[in-house]
Structure 1
Amino acid sequence: METPTSTLRRGGRRAAVALVAIATAVPLAGAPVPSEASVPAAAAALAADPGDSGRFARLNKQIAQLDKAYGGDLAKLKDAQYAVQQALAKSRDLQSDLTEARGLVAQMAATQYMTGGQDPAISVVASDDPSELLGNVTLVSHLAQNKAAKVEQIQSLVSQQDQARKQAQQKIAELQKEIKDLLAQKTRIRNLVKKYKPESPSVGMGGVTPRMLKVKNTIDLEMGPFPTIGCVRTTGDPQDHGTGHACDFMVTTGGVMATGSAQSLGDRTAAYAISHASALGIKYIIWRQRIYDLRSPGWRAMENRGGVTANHYDHVHISVF
C-alpha cells in the first residue's frame, strides 16, 4: 500500500504539474465553494478580452482623423480617450492579480494532493526520510494558513474585474457618443475652421502663432495682470502648447488651488474668452476641470488627472484655431 511519501517519490511531482492547471478551476477541499448563481458571472469575468482593446484602437484612429479635419487638438475627445485608457488599465491590472491569486491556490491544491491531504508537519514525522519533505514545509504551512483568505480574494477579484470591464465598456460607449456628436456637427465645425484659417508656428515671438499672441495680449490687457502666463512647451502632454496654439493664464502659483479673488479672476477670464471667442478665434477653454469647446459649445466635466494644475484649478487654459 502506497503512503503519501511514496507517492511523492514515485510521481507526485509530475502529478503536481498537472494539478496546477486543473486546480485553477477547482477550489481546495474545505475551501468556500462558489454558489451556482455565481458561476456564470465568474466565467464572464474570466473570459478573453471581448474586443475592447480593438474597439479602442479603431476609435483612436478616428480621433486622429478628426483632429486633422476639425482644426487641431480635440481636447474633449482626448479627455474621453484618457478615461478609456485608465479603465482598460484597471481591468488589465485586476486580471493580472486574479491570475496570480488563482495560480497560488493551484499550487496549494497540488501540494495538498502530494501530501495526501495531511498536515505537512505530520507528513514529515511519518516519513522514512523527513529531509525529503522539509524543503516544502515552510511554503506549504504558509499557503495552508492563507488558503481560505486567498479563495475569498479570488471571489472578490472576479467581481472587481467584471465591474472594471463593464466600466471600460461604458467609457468606450461615451467616447463613441462624443465622436458621433462631433460628426453630426461636421458642416458647422468645418465652416468654423474655414473662418479661422490655420496659422503656422512663428519664431521671434516665443513660438506662439500670431492669433495666439493677439489673444494673450488682449486677455492680459483686459483681465490682467496675472501672476504669469505660460504658452509654448513641449514636455509632458503639450497638445496645442507644442505648436504655439495655447497659453495658460495662471491665477495662482506653486500648484495652489485658486480660491477667493484668484478664483474670481479665473472665472472672469474664462467668461471673457467664451464671450469673445468668435472675434478672437478661440477654439476651447479649460478651467476647474471643465472644458468649453466652441466646436461643441457648453461646459463639460473632465476626468480627474490627479492634481491641482493637471485639473486646471490654478490656471485658465485657452487654445486658438
Structure 2
Amino acid sequence: MESPTSTLRRRARRAAVAVLAVALPLTGATAHSAAAQPAAPTAPALPSDPGDSGKFAKLNAQISKLDKAYGGDLAKLRDAQYAAKKALQKSSSLQGDLNDARSLVAQMAATQYMTDGQGPAISMLSSSDPSDMLSGYTLIEHISQNKSAKVAQIGKLVDEQATARRQAQQKITELQKEIKDLSAQKKRIEALVKKYKPQSPSVGMGGVTPRMMNVKTVIDQEEGPFPTIGCVRTTGDPQDHGTGHACDFMVTTGGVMATGSAKSHGDATAAYAIAHASALGIKYIIWRQRIYDLRSPGWRMMENRGGVTANHFDHVHISVF
C-alpha cells in the first residue's frame, strides 16, 4: 500500500508531465520520463489569432478604396479602424505574455520533476483543482522568488487576454458595420462628392485649397475671433491638414480644456459649420471627441486619443471636400 507521501509524489509527477506535454517540446531524459507516466488529459490551447488580423487587413483594403471614392479622409471610418488596431495589438501583447508565463511554469515543473523535488510548485500542480495551479498564492510566491514577476498572475493573464480578444472582435465588427453603412449610401455620397469638385492644394495661400480658405474666412467672420487658426501641417497624422483641406479653430491655447465661454464658443462654431455645410462644401467637423460627417450625418463619439488636443476639446476641426 502506498503512503500518503508517495501518492502525492506520484500525482505531482503526472501533473508536471502533463504541463510539459502542453508547454514544452519533450526531448532526451524528459521524453523518456513522460513515456513512463500515464497520459493525462489536457485542455486545448486557444489560438493566438483566430483570424482577426486577416479580417482587419481586408477591412483596411476596403477603407482605402472608399477613401478614394468618397472624397478622401473618411475620419469617422478611420477612427473605427484605429480602435480595432489598438484592440488587436493589446490582445496580441497579452497572448505573448501568457505564452511566456505558461512556458516558465512548465520549465519549473520540469526542473522539479527531474530532480525528484517536492517544492511548492509541484504541490500546487498536484492539486485536483485546476484553478489552484493558475492562482495559488504558493506558486505565485515561488515564481516571484525566481525573479519572474512578469508572470506572477497567470490566472489574471488568462482572463485579461480573453477579454482583450472579445474587445478586438467587437471593434472589428463595429468597423465592418461602419463600412457597410457607408457602402449602402454610395449613390448619395457620390452625388455629394460630385457636387464639390476636388480642389488642388495651392501655393501663396499657405497651402490651403480655395474652398478651405473660403471656409476659414467665413467661419472667422461669423464666429471669430479665435485665439488662433491652424491649417496646413505635415507632422504626426495630418490627414486633411496635409493637403490643405482642413483647419483647426482653437478656442483655448496651451492644451487647456475648453469650459465656460470657450466651450460655448466651440459649440457655436461647430453648430454654424453643420448648418452651413452644404453651402460651404464642408466634409466633416470634429469637436469634443465627436465627429459629424456630412457623408453619414449625425454626431458620433470617437476613440480616446489620450489628450485634450488629440481629442479636440480645445478646438473645432473642420475639413472640406
TM-score by length of 1: 0.78
| Residue segments in structure 1 that go unaligned for 5+ positions in a row | 1-17, 26-38, 121-140
Residue 188 (structure 2) aligns with: 188
Residue 124 (structure 2) aligns with: none
Residue 97 (structure 1) aligns with: 97
Residue 22 of structure 1: how far off its partner (Å): 2.6
Residue 169 (structure 2) aligns with: 169
Residue 201 of structure 1: how far off its partner (Å): 0.3
Contact 1:105–1:150 (8 Å) recurs in 2: no
Amino acid at match of 1:214: N
Residue 72 (structure 1) aligns with: 72
CA distance in 2 between partners of 1:199 and 1:151 (Å): 55
TM-score by length of 2: 0.78
Residue 24 (structure 1) aligns with: 23
Residue 222 of structure 1: how far off its partner (Å): 0.6
CA distance in 2 between partners of 1:203 and 1:89 (Å): 40
Amino acid at match of 2:249: F
Residue 83 (structure 1) aligns with: 83
Residue 282 of structure 1: how far off its partner (Å): 0.1
Contact 2:20–2:107 (8 Å) recurs in 1: no
Residue 110 of structure 1: how far off its partner (Å): 1.5
Deviations 1:70-112 (A, max 9, x none): 0010000000000001100110110011011112101211111
Deviations 1:203-244 (A, max 9, x none): 000000000000001000110000000000000000000000
| Residue segments in structure 2 that go unaligned for 5+ positions in a row | 1-16, 25-41, 121-140
Amino acid at match of 1:192: L
Residue 250 of structure 1: how far off its partner (Å): 0.3
Residue 281 (structure 1) aligns with: 281
Contact 1:24–1:102 (8 Å) recurs in 2: yes
For residue 252 of structure 1, give the secondary structure of its aligned residue in structure 2: coil
Mapping of 1:138-217 within 5 angstroms? 143=143, 145=145, 153-217=153-217
Contact 2:144–2:152 (8 Å) recurs in 1: no
Residue 117 (structure 2) aligns with: 117
Residue 31 (structure 1) aligns with: none
CA distance in 2 between partners of 1:301 and 1:201 (Å): 30
Residue 114 of structure 1: how far off its partner (Å): 2.3
Contact 1:19–1:109 (8 Å) recurs in 2: no
Contact 2:269–2:316 (8 Å) recurs in 1: yes
Contact 1:289–1:313 (8 Å) recurs in 2: yes
Deviations 1:150-179 (A, max 9, x none): 987222212211111111111001000001
CA distance in 1 between partners of 2:18 and 2:107 (Å): 8
Count of residues in correspondence between the two structures? 268
Residue 318 (structure 2) aligns with: 318
CA distance in 1 between partners of 2:256 and 2:143 (Å): 48
Contact 2:286–2:317 (8 Å) recurs in 1: yes
Residue 307 (structure 1) aligns with: 307
For residue 60 of structure 1, give the secondary structure of its aligned residue in structure 2: helix
Amino acid at match of 1:313: F
RMSD of aligned residue pairs (Cα, Å): 2.5
165-174 vs 107-116, greater mean Cα deviation: 107-116
Contact 1:23–1:110 (8 Å) recurs in 2: no
Moved over 6 A (4+): 149-152
Amino acid at match of 1:251: V
Deviations 1:24-60 (A, max 9, x none): 28xxxxxxxxxxxxx86xx46x224111000000000
Question: Per the alignment, do residues 169 and 144 of structure 1 end up closer, same or farther by CA in structure 2, a change over 3 Å counting?
Answer: closer
Residue 51 (structure 2) aligns with: 51
